[in-house]
Structures are given as C-alpha cells and as structure tokens.
Amino acid sequence: MEVHMGDYSNMASYYDVIMTSGYYDYEKIVSSLISETPFEQVLEIGCGTGLILQELAKRQPHVAISGVDLTQPMLDIAQQRLKPFANVSLSQQNVCELTLRDAHDLAFSYGGVWYFVIDGDKEPFMVSHIPDDADNHKGFERVAQCVAPGGVLLLGIQGPHHNYDTVISNGMTYSQQIDPSPIGFTKHYYLKDGAQTVMAQTVNYRTYSFSEAQRMMAAYGFTYAPEQNRGNLFLGFKKS
C-alpha cells in the first residue's frame, strides 16, 4: 500500500530496529535538548514510537512531557514504551488540527513533522511531512497555540538525503530512494529480508527555502533565534 500524508503505518513495526541501527542517536538528541534553559512542560510533535521521549523521561522525571503523532501504529508502540513514566502523556493528533490544553515552554520536532536540512555551507531548507501549503500554515498556527509566549520551538537538523542501502542490526537490508517532485521530493523506504520486501513506504515531502520557512513561521509568532540553536541538531525559534 502506498501512503503519502506523513503516515508511517507501513513502517511502524520495523521503525525501532531501523532507527536504532545508527539512523538517529537518541542519547545525543536528548543531551542537546536539555543542554540549555530548563523547561517544565515539553511537547514533541511527531513523537513516533517514543524513542526520544523515553530517553527524555528517564533524564527529566519531573518535567511534564507530551507527545503527539499522526500514525496510530507508531503511537501504540510509544504507549507501551512509555507506560512506566507517569509524567508522559501521548495523543494521536494531526498537527494541522492540534489541540492541547497546556502552553508548553518547549516544543520540538526531530525528524517529525518539520525539519531542516543543512548541507555544508548552503542555506538550510525546511522539509515538511505535510504536502499541502495551507496545511503547513494550519500546523504552525496550531503549534503556536500550544507554546507559551517566550517559549521555544526547536526543529531538528538533518544532513542531505541520498540514496543508499545498508544492512541493519536484524540482518535485513534497509534502503531509501529519493526522487525530486514538483513540491520537494518523494522518499521511498524499503526493508528487505533476503529477496523478500517486508516493508515499503512512500512519503511526499514539501520543501521550503529558509526565508519561506521563516516567513511562514513568523506569521504565527515564531522568530528564528540562533542563540537557541542546539549545535548541529536543532534550529531554535522563539515564540512572541
């Protein structure tokens, strides 16, 4: 089945083994998240299977932690993983219709709904899991309602995407293929066990130049704040 709206259902049961085979370094991500000003209420947008939130909850047991994700099968895994942590609450939500009661002093997304690609000295550009432009605006409008004035939004940084395949820790072969599209690019993810394809997923990504992204975010009160950047892992935006 081909899915396009940022839905990770096909990948869900293999997500952890792919990501923990060197795709992301969750300890490093969390170290960078907690490296600056302390926070009391934190939200992850596109928390997936909860790998970041588990590490965060272990290290910040007194912080109120929320996570939202579009894909129920990803969230089911997160629910199981995060059961031991009373300070974590999760909900299935599309960020374009996000509703949460609390105003968070920190919100972040890493590889989640929005992220930035930085390729050497080239200007960063933003990648969105949301293909429709108007929906991206709705998403930032909704996120703005969940971040307190003076709060911070951190969006993860990734290197440039390229085609490759690699053997992961369970012996299967993970591969990804990138094709340009009129709105950005399409990424095909595959997992093969020998000759058999056990997982195939396609996601359509929309891209924004750095200035387009800053303009869109500024419309909802988020201003680029380089002093909030976390090394080469997150770009920081301050909420007015």
Ligand X SMILES: C[S@@+](CC[C@H](N)C(=O)[O-])C[C@H]1O[C@@H](n2cnc3c(N)ncnc32)[C@H](O)[C@@H]1O
Binding stretches for ligand X (CB under 6 A): 6, 8, 19, 24, 46-48, 51-52, 68-71, 74, 94-96, 110-113, 129-130
Residue closer to ligand X, measured from CB, 149 or 159: 159
Cα dist from 48 to 102, 154, 185, 213, 231, whole Å:
21, 17, 21, 23, 23
Residue closer to ligand X, measured from CB, 63 or 143: 143
3-state secondary structure of 80: helix
Q: What one-character-per-residue DSSP string does 198-233 give?
A: EEEEEEEEEEEEHHHHHHHHHTTTEEE-GGG-BTTT
Least distance (Å) between residue 78 CB and ligand X:
9
Amino acid at 129: H
Tokens of 197: 């394809």
Residue closer to ligand X, measured from CB, 149 or 201: 201
Least distance (Å) between residue 3 CB and ligand X:
10
Residue closer to ligand X, measured from CB, 95 or 155: 95
Residue closer to ligand X, measured from CB, 65 or 123: 65
Least distance (Å) between residue 129 CB and ligand X:
4
Residue 23 phi/psi, 5° resolution? -70, -50
3-state secondary structure of 20: helix
Least distance (Å) between residue 80 CB and ligand X:
15
Least distance (Å) between residue 110 CB and ligand X:
5
3-state secondary structure of 124: coil
Residue 238 and residue 147: Cα distance in Å, rounded? 10
Residue closer to ligand X, measured from CB, 96 or 147: 96
* Angle (nearest 5°) at CA 143 between 205 and 159: 40
Least distance (Å) between residue 94 CB and ligand X:
5
